[in-house]
Amino acid sequence: MTDVKRYLEVCFAHKRLLMAPLLAALIGTAAYIFVQPPSYLSSATLWVNGNGVGTQSAAQTQADIVNQYLKTNSFAVSVAQNSPLGGYLDTHGSGTTSRIEGLFGGGGTESKASADTIRLYLGAHVTLTPLGPSELTLVVNAPTPQVANGTALALISQLTNAEISARTTAIQAQLALYKSQLADQAKELSTDLDAVRAYLAAHPSLANNSTASSTDAQLAILQDKAAQDRANYSALLAQIDKTNSDLALARQSQPFRVVDAPKLPSSVSLFARQELLAIAAGMLAGMLAVVGTGALLVRMDTTIHSQDEVQTMIGLPVIGSTPLSARA
Amino acid sequence: MSEVLEVKNASKTASPTAKPASVAPAWPSSLYATPRVQAWTTPLNESFVAEEIVEGCRLAIQHLGMDGLRSVGVTSSLRGEGRTTIAIATALVLAEYGLNTILLELDLANPELAQRLAVARFPGLGDLAEGRAILTDTIRPVVAGLSIIPAGVVQGSIPRALSQLSKTEVLDTLVSEGHVIVADLPPLLGNSAGRQAAGLMADVILVVRARVVPASSIIEAVGGLPVTPKVLVNGTKSRVPGWARRLSGV
């Protein structure tokens, strides 16, 4: 308890000194935020069709899928190419332009942004948050309104394409297999029919005599094989029709519906995620500095605070104390 | 003692307005007559010493004990610890108890008492030590039971003046006349006068300003003192606001 009291006494005696590191941290945070590029937020709300995986909601599943896509270079590059983001990153690089550079019209030298740069930028500037079982919010944070809005639109478009592509790829592969099998079956059927025709040409008596032809074992075998192949061919045709139908259905069914389309942001977002993180980090650093400085001051303090400390610290008899500071 | 008496006799034979032979023209000659100006009798009030400080000194004096109390010096390790204020309060408390108290301004290098109590600054101890004044001329009444002898002017060296005061037995004379002496001493560190002046006192109160002077400086200051000083801690009022005390439970 005495230590706590002494700590408090020292801290309040040097409160201005203790406020200095906190103030420095806050000024540093403000400076950091000021040198950051401006933030424009463009958001969209999506309604996810279908069900989630396992115990996850559909929205959470879709968010996970989008995050997985954002980790791939091909998806990130396709988003950048279909939005103003690609051009912006080519001009400014991933460092973008700070508020200070913006004041003086600063930009940057043009160099093609790499796929990795684009992927990392999108990963840091796109946020997906499930609002409910099927509702998902997509927020794009960008240094200009056009880039924010264009990127959000491109992201939704590319996401739709990617999801549809993922669903139709298997059906298309199956269709291709069926078609290949159909071609093989058509050749086999043609061969079988040729064999029947050749047999009948070699035995003209069977052509006009139905009784004879029905009793001819070899002809029966050839005709059965041709009939079997025709049936297979027909079955394959039916499969192809069904698969084509499935493919059309998969192409028509959207993975999600856009409830609120992204809009062009009209004002700078003052407290985007990075700014909030910087403020929190600044406050934490300032508080740590205050505690550290306080501990240092207490450790260095060898002054007497009360008459109880006189005997222990300097070994002299004490006759009393005065509460007010009587200074000469 | 004999020198003091000689000085007294010399003063008595001189005209009240005449200038003593050894006096330098450091102040108007009329002040030698020690006229009882109104300022001398200005009562002590809150502008001199706060009541809380007087109360603290009252308790300290009770703790110190007044039996056989003859002379007590108030000193500190460093300047600015509240030494002069505590000396005034201590003298005031002793006067309250009915003791015939003399407040002695022994901080000859930086005298403040006379100015703070609004009494004439000279002649004083310096003049007494250097033979320019007699004891009775240096004593200024302040309130009932309390008088002050200011520092006056020291034209030579302060250690020599202190040594001369010791030789002339001024303090013994005052004590023998029934006075209790409270002396505002110089600080102990930074000069030799502090220790020398403390050596003139039977008891020494060491004022320690809370949260200001390191313990090592205090130990260094009291080292080699002829008497063990009693400590009075000054300014112990907590600087922690009430809300912080309640939150921390201290």
From chain B, the residues in CB contact with A294 under 8 A are none
Nearest to A323 by CA among B154, B85, B115, B233: B233
Phi and psi torsions of B72, nearest 5°: -130, 130
Q: Would the pLDDT of B166 be above 50? A: yes
Q: Are A139 and A125 in contact (CB under 8 A)?
A: no
From chain A, the residues in CB contact with B249 under 8 A are 1, 4
Order of strands across the sheet that contains A40-48: A126-130, A135-142, A40-48, A256-260
Q: Would the pLDDT of A155 be above 60? A: yes
Model confidence pLDDT, tens digit, residues B39-81: 333 445 545 678 888 889 989 998 888 778 899 999 999 998 9
Model confidence pLDDT, tens digit, residues A292-316: 888 888 889 999 988 888 988 999 9
A303 closest CB neighbour out of B211, B229, B249: B211
Q: Collect all residues with Cβ–Cβ distance below 8 Å to B94 and sequence separation of at least 6.
A: B61, B66, B69, B101, B145, B146, B180, B182
Beta carbons of A5 and B250 less than 8 Å apart: yes
Beta carbons of A307 and B63 less than 8 Å apart: no
Chain A CA closest to residue B187: A328
How far B86 CA sits from the closest chain A CA (Å)?
A: 7
Distance CA B103, CA A118 (A): 86
Q: Collect all residues with Cβ–Cβ distance below 8 Å to B147 and sequence separation of at least 6.
A: B101, B102, B103, B139, B140, B141
B32 within a domain of the structure (yes/no): no
Q: List the beta bridge partners of residue B104.
A: B149, B183
Model confidence pLDDT, tens digit, residues B169-224: 889 999 999 899 999 999 999 888 999 999 999 999 999 999 889 999 999 999 98
User: Quick one: pLDDT at residue A153?
Assistant: 94
Q: Report, as an integer, the average pLDDT of A130-148.
A: 91
How far B229 CA sits from the closest chain A CA (Å)?
A: 7
Q: Are B231 and A316 in contact (CB under 8 A)?
A: yes
Nearest to B108 by CA among B34, B159, B166: B159
Model confidence pLDDT, tens digit, residues B4-21: 333 333 333 333 333 333
pLDDT range class, residue A205, cuts 50, 70, 90:
confident
A319 closest CB neighbour out of B55, B209, B230: B230
Number of domains in chain B: 1
Half-sphere exposure of B211 toward its Cβ, with a 13 Å CA cutoff?
22
Phi and psi torsions of B139, nearest 5°: -85, 125
User: Quick one: pLDDT at residue A105?
Assistant: 53
User: Quick one: pLDDT at residue A268?
Assistant: 78
CA angle A115, A116, A120 (to 5 degrees): 120
Beta carbons of A12 and B210 less than 8 Å apart: no
User: Quick one: pLDDT at residue A25?
Assistant: 86
Higher pLDDT, A213 or B237: B237
* Strand duo B100-105 + B146-149: pairing: parallel
Beta carbons of A326 and B245 less than 8 Å apart: no
pLDDT range class, residue A239, cuts 50, 70, 90:
very high
Q: What ipTM, to 2 d.p.?
A: 0.76
Q: Would the pLDDT of B24 be above 80? A: no
A313 closest CB neighbour out of B215, B238, B248: B215
How far B176 CA sits from the closest chain A CA (Å)?
A: 27
Q: Would the pLDDT of A207 be above 60? A: yes
Tokens 């259905």, located at residue: A249
Half-sphere exposure of A326 toward its Cβ, with a 13 Å CA cutoff?
31
Structure tokens at A152: 């959000």
Best probe of the A interface among B239, B243, B247, B248, by most A CBs < 10 A, is B239
User: Quick one: pLDDT at residue A104?
Assistant: 54
pLDDT, chain A, mean:
86
Model confidence pLDDT, tens digit, residues B73-127: 999 999 989 999 999 999 989 988 889 999 999 999 999 888 888 899 989 999 9
User: DSSP for A179-229?
Assistant: HHHHHHHHHHHHHHHHHHHHHHHH-HHHHH-HHHHHH-HHHHHHHHHHHHH
Q: Are B200 and B73 in contact (CB under 8 A)?
A: yes
Beta carbons of B234 and A322 less than 8 Å apart: yes
Alpha-helical regions (H) of chain B: 2-13, 51-64, 83-96, 113-116, 125-129, 135-138, 158-168, 170-176, 193-198, 215-222, 242-248
pLDDT range class, residue A157, cuts 50, 70, 90:
very high
CATH code: domain of residue B130: 3.40.50.300
B60 closest CB neighbour out of A314, A319, A328: A319
B27 within a domain of the structure (yes/no): no
Question: CB count, 10 Å around CB of B83?
Answer: 31
B182 DSSP assignment? E
Chain A CA closest to residue B84: A328
How far from A136 is each of A40, A58, A67, A119, A125, CA to CA, in Å?
Answer: 20, 9, 13, 21, 16
User: Quick one: pLDDT at residue A156?
Assistant: 93
Beta carbons of B218 and A304 less than 8 Å apart: yes
Task: Specify the CATH architecture of the domain A41-169+259-268.
Answer: 2-Layer Sandwich (3.30)
In chain A, where the domains are located: 1-39+269-309, 41-169+259-268, 170-251
B142 within a domain of the structure (yes/no): yes
Beta carbons of B222 and A313 less than 8 Å apart: no
The size of the A-B interface in CB pairs under 8 A is: 146
Best probe of the B interface among A4, A311, A312, A319, by most B CBs < 10 A, is A319
Tokens 């250690």, located at residue: B159
Phi and psi torsions of B152, nearest 5°: 70, -150
User: Quick one: pLDDT at residue B31?
Assistant: 32
Amino acid letter, residue A8? L
Model confidence pLDDT, tens digit, residues A163-196: 888 888 999 999 999 999 999 999 999 999 999 8
* Strand duo B203-209 + B230-234: pairing: parallel
Beta carbons of A322 and B209 less than 8 Å apart: no
Helix, strand, or coil (residue A279): helix
User: Quick one: pLDDT at residue A97?
Assistant: 52
Q: Report, as an integer, the average pLDDT of A251-271.
A: 83
pLDDT range class, residue B157, cuts 50, 70, 90:
very high
From chain B, the residues in CB contact with A319 under 8 A are 60, 63-64, 205, 230-232
Structure tokens at A231: 């049936």
End-to-end CA distance of chain A: 33
Which residues span the domain enclosing B232? 2-13+41-248
B20 within a domain of the structure (yes/no): no
Instruction: Report the sign of the C-alpha dihedral through residues A96, A98, A102, A104, in that order.
Output: negative
Nearest to A50 by CA among A133, A127, A132: A133
Tokens 């192949």, located at residue: A229
With both helix axes pointing from N to C terminus, report the angle between B83-96 and B51-64 in degrees, rounded to the nearest 10.
70
Q: Report, as an integer, the average pLDDT of A47-67.
A: 88
Q: Would the pLDDT of A1 be above 50? A: yes
Model confidence pLDDT, tens digit, residues B121-153: 989 999 999 999 999 999 999 888 899 999 999
The chain A residues in contact with chain B (CB within 8 A) are 1, 4-5, 8-10, 12-13, 301-307, 310, 313-314, 316-328
Question: CB count, 10 Å around CB of A23?
Answer: 13
Q: Collect all residues with Cβ–Cβ distance below 8 Å to B34 and sequence separation of at least 6.
A: B120, B123, B136, B137, B138, B140
User: Quick one: pLDDT at residue B32?
Assistant: 33
Chain A CA closest to residue B115: A328
* Strand duo B179-184 + B146-149: pairing: unpaired
Beta carbons of B238 and A4 less than 8 Å apart: no
Amino acid letter, residue A238? A
From chain A, the residues in CB contact with B84 under 8 A are 328
From chain A, the residues in CB contact with B218 under 8 A are 304, 314, 316
- Percentage of chain A beyond pLDDT 90 is 41
